[in-house]
Structure 1
């Protein structure tokens, strides 16, 4: 029973398991290689030909726009056409290798997250003890007469924490699904950048992709802050020898219950921060 109660307190104190935290440290290619390859296959086989067609139309429109600006000036017309062709050549090359740009964003996000993880790991000796591990001696010394009421009181906060874990799991899963879907359409935004009227579409695409990539870093920070906040609020060191274990749980029952609700709020805030990093609302 001691290990069970310790596990419950560790679960409430950590917010989410280390397996979910490990998912945040993965790149899209590492999280689900099958889905990632599927998105690349769709991009290369189905979307890239459409992007090439759109780019050809954009090329005609751009040359028509340039020809009107020349207005009979042959030398100016040659310069404008040459500049337009050079720009369209760069855009076409970028559209043919657009997945490389997404991989570059993935590498930047992975580098940032790796630095945060090195500075504040969630596993190992430097991560500190969990809430339950800190209370193990007190739980053990309480005996079964004190452990049973403690277990009953902890059931509700534990179930709420599991509900919060489901929310976090869904957020992480949807984050990767969105990345895979955006990857599947990656040649199109490059084609739109070629035209002044549609350039913002392509820019918004890369902003959205970057915000999803950096969402892992903000979620990781949110989990770190949650664990620090819960540890500081409940503070197992306040429990002294001879104190009632069930009394300590009763005194901290509201904090234990609200901790899981707070985890959901922190995750939502992390998503909002990731969007604001790239000019979103």
Structure 2
């Protein structure tokens, strides 16, 4: 039982954030998702977007026809303006994948820059409290070891859930990005009409939110590492310390960081949405 208690104590701090690099760097399946999105984009979505552009241009010309009666100069200007807008829409639709890829690259650039920062104070997350006080845990006896196991089990479960949640959010982020990218040409067709332009802008904001959610996840994990490291370093531990009393006195410190991390991870999407003004 003493080894189990020591392992739980070691695992509470740092477990959810030790693998930050693998969380933020693009996994191998991302290229597969990107290629699949491009294929869907080219084969299924672009032809539909072309039809949508043609319909919108036809409607725009029909709507402006009433304004051209009796004024040839105005009519030429309206037609030229309409066709110029249609040409710009076609260019945007054709290059939709490139536009979105630029947003993805910008997000990845921010992630790499943030991940490379030395924020300080994170060394404490590498501290192994259970290993340090294994002898004290062994001396406590089976009854107290069982009590310590029960006390530490709940924060360990929360930490484990937070680590799993971080990985799931990263995977969901990549799927969300490339599902939206697969249908990019269709919402981009709305740029050509003033009445529907807000729909295209809303789509771009939604896509940027998906990209920036990865940034907010990383920022949350890095800031949490700093706070967690400072909390662990602030725990006094002596050779004659009573393990049972030590765990009881620091129960709030064991329990609070995992709960805060869960809340931060849950809030990353709303934080990203606030950044893009959604």
- TM-score computed with the length of structure 1 as normaliser: 0.85
- In 1, the alpha carbon distance for the partners of 2:12 and 2:29 equals 26
Say yes or no: does 1:32 pair with 2:34: no
Deviation at 1:179, TM superposition (A): 1.1
- Summarize the alignment of residues 183-198 of structure 1 with structure 2, pairs less than 5 Å apart: 183-198=181-196
Partner of 2:12: 12
Q: Once the two structures are superposed, what CA deviation does each residue of 1:127-176 show, in whole Å capped at 9, x if it has no partner?
A: 5242533x366325536335972555423321222122233333222222
Q: How much is the aligned-residue C-alpha RMSD, in angstroms? A: 2.8
Partner of 2:104: 106
Distance 1:11 1:63, change over 3 A: farther
Partner of 1:145: 139
Partner of 1:115: 113
SS in 2 for 1:72: coil
Partner of 1:132: 127
Partner of 1:96: 94
Deviation at 1:237, TM superposition (A): 4.2
Deviation at 1:52, TM superposition (A): 0.5
- In 1, the alpha carbon distance for the partners of 2:45 and 2:237 equals 62
Instruction: Answer whether contact 1:164 1:260 (CA < 8 A) is retained.
Output: yes
SS in 1 for 2:265: helix
Deviation at 1:253, TM superposition (A): 1.7
Deviation at 1:185, TM superposition (A): 0.3
- In 1, the alpha carbon distance for the partners of 2:16 and 2:237 equals 24
- TM-score computed with the length of structure 2 as normaliser: 0.86
Give ranges in structure 2 of 5+ residues lacking alignment.
none
Q: Once the two structures are superposed, what CA deviation does each residue of 1:67-120 show, in whole Å capped at 9, x if it has no partner?
A: 333332111211221122122112102201210001110111111112211214
- In 2, the alpha carbon distance for the partners of 1:72 and 1:221 equals 62
Partner of 2:227: 229
Partner of 1:52: 50
- Summarize the alignment of residues 168-207 of structure 1 with structure 2, pairs less than 5 Å apart: 168-207=166-205
Give ranges in structure 1 of 5+ residues lacking alignment.
none
- In 1, the alpha carbon distance for the partners of 2:122 and 2:2 equals 22
Instruction: Answer whether contact 2:122 2:229 (CA < 8 A) is retained.
Output: no
Q: Once the two structures are superposed, what CA deviation does each residue of 1:240-270 show, in whole Å capped at 9, x if it has no partner?
A: 3422233222211233123222211111222
SS in 1 for 2:254: helix
Deviation at 1:233, TM superposition (A): 3.6
- In 2, the alpha carbon distance for the partners of 1:147 and 1:138 equals 17
The number of residues matched between the two structures is: 274
